[in-house]
Every structure is written in C-alpha cells, then in structure tokens.
Structure 1
Amino acid sequence: MSMTTAKLRDYVPQDAAALGNVALAAFEQFKDTYSDWPAMAAGLTRMGTLAEAGEIVVAEDDGRLVGGVAYIGPHKPKAGFFDPAWPIIRMLVVTPLARGQGLGRRLTEACIQRAERDGSPIIALHTTPIMDVALPMYLRMGFVRLRAAPDIHGVPYGLYTKALG
C-alpha cells in the first residue's frame, strides 16, 4: 500500500462504518491496556458521531479509508477538561498497514490549518504515553504537555497544547 497516494478529504456520512473500523484497527494493539475494552471499542466504532460537533478529515487510499481525525472548533461541545474556547484534535487514527508514512502528521496538520482558519491562538489534544508513535510526533510538532487529563478506562492521559501563529 503506497501512502503517498493517500488523499485527505472531508468526511461524509457514508464513511461512518469504514471510519469506525479504521478507529478500531488503530486501537486494537492497546486492547489489553484499557480496563474496559468492550466499552472503549464501542466508542471507537462511533467515531463518525464526532461530525455532529466538528469536522472529520479522512485519508483515503485507492478507495479505502486508511485514517481519520476529528477537529472540534472553538466553543463547540467538548470534554470539560478542555478550555471551551480551544479548538481540539480528537481521535487521530491510522490503520496499522498505513503507518509510518506521514499520514498522522498530515491529518494533524489538517486540524492545525482549520484552527488557524478559525483564528485560534492555540490548539489542544489529549493523548497517552501508550501512544508511543503519536505522542512523540505531537511533541516534534510543537505540542507541550499542560497537565494530566482524566484517565480513560484505566489508562492515564495528558492534555497537550500548541501555540499557533
């Protein structure tokens, strides 16, 4: 699979099932780390519902979804540990077969561009040290740990922000 051919595009409702499958595949390696994997998995398969509060960008390669991310803009509904004024990045997912080719970075950059479009001085996300590829990528891109975020099914998370502009 050649990811150089992956195209980013806006999510459409018909992508819901495929996007849920991508999210599930992306998190599968962590299934033994979460205390309630069935609940976590159920949430992952509903990733498309994030389109209700924000914008989802998907990565498509040869007609198949291989990644996605949700951008939730300023003052849109989000978890209470985020400042409501901050745009946030949610659920960056790339299928295992499509990893290592810069797709996660491209999807993250798509969110940063939307935050800049929205005139925000900052963008935020939450992630966990078990994400041993995503977390170092975020740090290389200029995200800085602000504080702890609530655990998700027993896994510790941190809140990270990046100054824009």
Structure 2
Amino acid sequence: MTVNIREFAPADALSVNALAVKAFEQFQNAYDDWPAFKTRIAGMSSLAGAGELLVAEIDRQIVGAVVYIGPGMPKADFFQAEWPIMRMLVVSPDFRGLGIGRALTEKCLQRARRDKAQVFALHSSEIMQVALPMYLRMGFQIMSQAPSIHGVEYGVYLKKID
C-alpha cells in the first residue's frame, strides 16, 4: 500500500470532515459533551484557512489528515506565537498501524524546518493511546498542561527541531 500525502483541495472537505469524526468516535464516552465536540471536529476542513491542511491517501481514499500552523499564525493562547504547531492529526481506524500518523507528523516537522523554527508543538491527551506514545517516541516532551476540552485533560508537547 502506497500512502500519498498531498495538500488539501476544497473537494476534499466532506471526506476530511467525516474522517475527523470517525477518528474520534472511539473517544466519545470520554468527552462530557460529545455532541458539541463532534460538531466542532466535523468542521476540520475549515482549518485549511488557518494553516496548511495535508491529507494522506491510499488508492485515492483519504485515510488521514493534519493541519500545520506556522510561526506567527494565530493559535491557542497556550502555544507561544512563534511556535509552529499541528492540529487535528486524524487517521482512519481502518488504516491505523501503517505509519500514516507518523508520516503526517513528519511532514509537519519538515514544514517547521522550512520555516526555520527551533521547536514544534502540539497538544494531546492521555486518552490518545496510539498518538501520544508515538509523539513521545518521536522526541516530544510534555511542556505544560493545556485547558481541558469537554472534560478531557490535554497537555502541550514540544519537540526541538534538529
């Protein structure tokens, strides 16, 4: 199986939005207001206006996505303005374990290097039992707590860019 990572196109919006919901459904019992959270993530494609939305495809099917937000771009207050960050890394449950999440994260790190950043940040939660260990293996370290989202605790993770 060949994974192709490319820039988001407007025609991808419905697929990306559905993928975001599908990727987070396993956590629905962890969020104290799943319907509100689901509505928020179901608009993932709108993040293309805030950064660079990348999609991963296998046989022309979108199976993963992530948003890279560069230094100086608007982002949550718990991130420093000069930090590039990634948001909403999602991988279809049917395609997990193939390295798609890591490949998308690496593409974001490449963009951070392109932007001459010294560090790269993200926020994640301990409920993310696949993603969080992957980030830690990639060299991310907990920096601070982030505000909880609908009752789920999150942390800010930072990686020095080599």
User: Is the counterpart of residue 107 in structure 1 residue 112 in structure 2?
Assistant: no
What does residue range 4-19 of structure 1 map to in structure 2 within 5 Å?
Answer: 4-19=1-16
Tell me the SS of whatever aligns to 1:129: coil
Q: Which runs of structure 2 are paired with 1:83-98 in the superposition (5 Å)?
A: 83-98=80-95
Pair 1:143 & 2:146 matched: no
- The answer for unaligned runs of 5 or more in structure 1 is none
Could you report, residue by residue, the CA deviation over 1:52-106 in whole angstroms, capped at 9, with x for unpaired residues?
A: 1100110011111110000000011110110011000100000000000100000
Aligned with residue 78 of structure 2, among 58, 76, 81 = 81
Map 1:1-165; keep pairs closer than 5 Å. 4-165=1-162
Q: CA-to-partner distance for each residue in 1:4-51, whole Å, 9 max, x for gaps?
A: 312100001111110011110100000011011111111111111111
Q: Cα RMSD over matched residues? A: 0.6
Instruction: Give unpaired runs (5+ residues) of structure 2.
Output: none
The share of aligned pairs that are identical, in percent, is: 54
Partner AA of 1:49 in structure 2:
S
Give the secondary-structure state (helix, strand or coil) at the position aligned to 2:35: helix
Deviations 1:123-151 (A, max 9, x none): 00000000000000000000000010000
Count of equivalent residues: 162
- Partner SS, residue 69 of structure 1: strand
